[in-house]
Amino acid sequence: MKPGHSSVTDIEIIEDFSSTARCDEGFLRVRRLRCRNRRADGSSSSVYRVDVVDRPRLDAVAVLVFRRGASGAPGASDAPGAPGSIEVLTRMNLRPAAFFRKDNRGAMTVPDPAAGYLRVEEIVAGLLEPEDKGEEGLKRRAAEEVREEAGYAVKPEDIQLLGGSFFLAPGILSEKVFPAAVDVTGLEPVDPEGDGTPLEEGTQLHWRPLAEVLEACRRGDIPDAKTEVALTRLLARQA
């Protein structure tokens, strides 16, 4: 937990100005389009509506911070680098969008857990800046996010890119996520500085065995797709 903050127990809505806000302003921008499909034979489909959600900066990097042989957990392999000996770092972050699902329980096919989602457990991640171009830019941004969110001073050349980028919700979101990993075995962290926003109040860091975190993803206890993708890709690389 970040020093100086008690644990957050609720998020209060001060104003809902959805009905008066323009869809092309704010952190997220909604493009409301009328489209039609153009076919190879020259014909077209009927006109239909499409909503596209963009950020001013479209893409993000997600970094799986891990260490080897740290926990001595029961059943862990003694072989350096064996999957059972790897621990991964997760963050418990305030996530208002997930939290406010509780206001739409009638639209849920399967009810959410009774406690809801005030916080979501996930790996280090951050938006790519306009200057973060190519593989070099990805690694530089990943190293910066690890320092800011996890407190580990790593170099861009320490970052491993875990294959191609992916969409989280391609039906509505234009954002792509670039998965990466970094081994911090033997490094000593400092207190993460964070970004100073209220969304980072009470952020909690946890080290857990990789297999335990992956199982939590598959049960739905960690409902974050980028975390599961990064875990499985790191496992594939270790194998």
Domains and CATH numbers, the chain: 57-238 (3.90.79.10)
Question: What is the distance between the alpha carbons of residues 232 and 160, in angstroms, rounded to a whole number?
Answer: 14
Q: Are 24 and 18 in contact (CB under 8 A)?
A: no
DSSP symbol at 173: B
Question: What is the distance between the alpha carbons of residues 96 and 92, in angstroms, rounded to a whole number?
Answer: 13
Q: Retrieve residue 47's tokens.
A: 């006109």
In this prediction, residue 80 carries a pLDDT of 39
Q: Retrieve residue 176's tokens.
A: 């792509």
Q: Retrieve residue 220's tokens.
A: 């739905």
Question: What is the distance between the alpha carbons of residues 21 and 216, in angstroms, rounded to a whole number?
Answer: 38
Q: What is the pLDDT of residues 97-138, one digit of tens each?
A: 999 999 888 898 998 887 889 999 999 999 999 899 999 999
Q: What is the pLDDT of residues 128-164, one digit of tens each?
A: 998 999 999 999 999 999 999 999 999 999 999 999 9
Q: Retrieve residue 19's tokens.
A: 């009905």
Q: Could you report the average pLDDT of every consecutive run of 10 residues in the chain (239 residues)?
A: 63 91 86 96 97 90 92 40 77 93 89 88 95 94 97 97 96 95 96 85 93 96 96 91
Mean pLDDT of the chain: 89
Claim: this prediction has a pTM higher than 0.75: yes
